[in-house]
């Protein structure tokens, strides 16, 4: 089987099938074996693992995964890639390709049917335009996950692991860190892809927390509060949250909560830790004095 991490082999496959990448799917195929090795090491794939790959493309990473994992389920939205995958994965009996939109796939069912409900590992070279919806969809649907190891835009990777008071810190940072421990394991320049993207990329491993690091009454309410705080991030927290009905807190309520936390009423959302946001969420209950 041709090593698709070698550029000329990828080019040959694309030419043989007369395939042209589509911008709407954010298709950039990895053509660097050293990066593929880094992804596999970071994901810690072994024969006991069931792996969900999102967006296999022409099967470059899929081949690597199939050689290490017990089973691979690859979900590809572009039906024009299915004939290519049938060719490049022909020698692997432990790979199932599903031609679907990952946002519409019942991943809990895959975990149940393919892995007896045990946690699966997700590995992907994600299209940049849909990175956040995919990752948050995996977390919020409470799919049994061990880890998510993904190639993303470098800027997004920085945001995932950013802390309070930094320019990259925002709603994505808090959401990811609520569910998992993020770690950038490799930086990947544009020349590692075909075609070349205009920006740099990074491989991020998100290791799922066994339990959330903070206590909240209602997760959805916590994230509504966080989104309100960052939708107008240059405003004070009182104004940003108080002006957003979906936050569930009035301006007076947020002011009273900040007082109880010993925080200034001029503070902005970007200065609060996840723990402080969690305390604000608990104060949303009427008369809650914890």
Tokens of 257: 């909560």
**What's 55's DSSP letter?**
-
**pLDDT score for 98:** 98
Tens digits of residue pLDDT in 71-104: 999 999 999 999 999 999 999 999 999 999 999 9
Note the pTM of the prediction, 2 decimals. 0.92
CA 175 – CA 214 distance, rounded (Å): 12
Determine the Cα–Cα distance for residues 145 and 140; give it in Å rounded to an integer: 11
Confidence of residue 284 (pLDDT cuts 50, 70, 90): confident
Report the percent of the chain where pLDDT is more than 90: 84
The answer to whether residues 274 and 177 touch, using CB atoms and an 8 Å cutoff, is yes
* Residue appearing with tokens 């994600």: 126
Lowest-confidence segment of 59-63, 148-152, 153-157, 282-286 by average pLDDT: 282-286
The answer to whether 282 and 215 have CB atoms below 8 angstroms apart is: yes
pLDDT, averaged across the chain = 93
Tokens of 284: 């949303």
Residues in CB range of 67: below 8 A, 6 or more apart: 92
Given 1.10.8.100, 3.60.9.10, 3.90.1570.10, 3.10.129.10, which CATH number is that of 219-283? 1.10.8.100
| CA separation for the pair 247, 245 (Å, rounded) | 5
SS3 56: coil
Q: Rounded to the nearest 5 degrees, what angle is found at the Cα of 237, between the Cα atoms of 235 and 242?
A: 95
Domains 7-208 and 219-283 belong to one CATH topology:
no
> What is the H or E stretch that residue 137 is in?
helix 131-140
Q: Where are the beta strands (DSSP E) in 79-200?
A: 95-98, 120-125, 145-153, 180-188, 193-194
Per the listing, tokens 């900040």 go with 258
What's the DSSP call for residue 200? -
- Residue spans of the domains in the chain: they are 7-208, 219-283
pLDDT at 131: 93
- Phi, psi values for residue 118, rounded to 5°: -75, 160
Of 209, 205, 206, 208, which is closest to residue 42 (Cα–Cα)?
A: 205
Q: Which residue has the tokens 């593929």?
A: 36
72 with 101: CB under 8 angstroms?
no
List, for residues 183-230, the tens digit of each pLDDT value. 999 999 999 999 999 999 999 999 999 999 999 999 999 999 999 999
pLDDT higher than threshold 60 for residue 21: yes
- Measured CA to CA, the distance from residue 15 to residue 20 in angstroms comes to 9
pLDDT tens-digit series, residues 228-262 = 999 988 899 999 998 888 887 888 889 999 999 99
Element (H, E) at 120: strand 120-125
How does DSSP classify residue 245? G
Structure confidence at residue 240 (pLDDT): 93
Q: Determine the CATH number of domain 7-208.
A: 3.40.50.150
């Amino acid at each position: 089987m041709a090593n698709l991490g070698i550029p000329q082999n990828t080019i040959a496959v694309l030419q043989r099938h007369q395939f042209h990448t589509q911008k709407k799917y954010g298709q950039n195929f990895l053509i660097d074996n050293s990066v593929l090795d880094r992804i596999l090491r970071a994901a810690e794939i072994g024969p006991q693992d069931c792996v969900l790959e999102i967006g296999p493309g022409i099967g470059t990473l899929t081949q690597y995964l199939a050689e290490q994992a017990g089973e691979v389920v690859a979900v590809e939205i572009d039906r024009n890639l299915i004939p290519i995958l049938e060719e490049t994965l022909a020698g692997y009996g432990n790979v199932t390709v599903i031609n679907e939109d990952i946002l519409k796939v019942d991943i809990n069912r895959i975990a149940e049917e393919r892995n007896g409900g045990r946690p699966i590992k997700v590995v992907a070279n994600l299209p940049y335009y849909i990175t956040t919806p995919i990752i948050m969809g995996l977390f919020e649907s409470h799919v049994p996950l061990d880890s998510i190891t993904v190639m993303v835009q470098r800027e997004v990777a920085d945001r995932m692991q950013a802390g309070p008071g930094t320019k990259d810190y925002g709603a994505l940072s808090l959401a990811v860190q609520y569910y998992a421990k993020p770690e950038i394991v490799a930086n990947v320049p544009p020349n590692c892809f075909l075609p070349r993207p205009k920006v740099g990329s990074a491989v991020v491993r998100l290791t799922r927390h066994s339990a959330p690091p903070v206590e909240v009454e209602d997760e959805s309410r916590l994230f509504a509060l966080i989104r309100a705080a960052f939708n107008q991030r240059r405003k004070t927290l009182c104004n940003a949250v108080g002006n957003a009905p979906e936050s569930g807190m009035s301006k007076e309520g947020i002011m009273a909560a900040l007082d109880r936390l010993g925080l200034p009423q001029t503070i902005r959302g970007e200065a609060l830790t996840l723990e402080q946001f969690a305390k604000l969420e608990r104060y949303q209950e009427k008369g809650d004095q914890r």
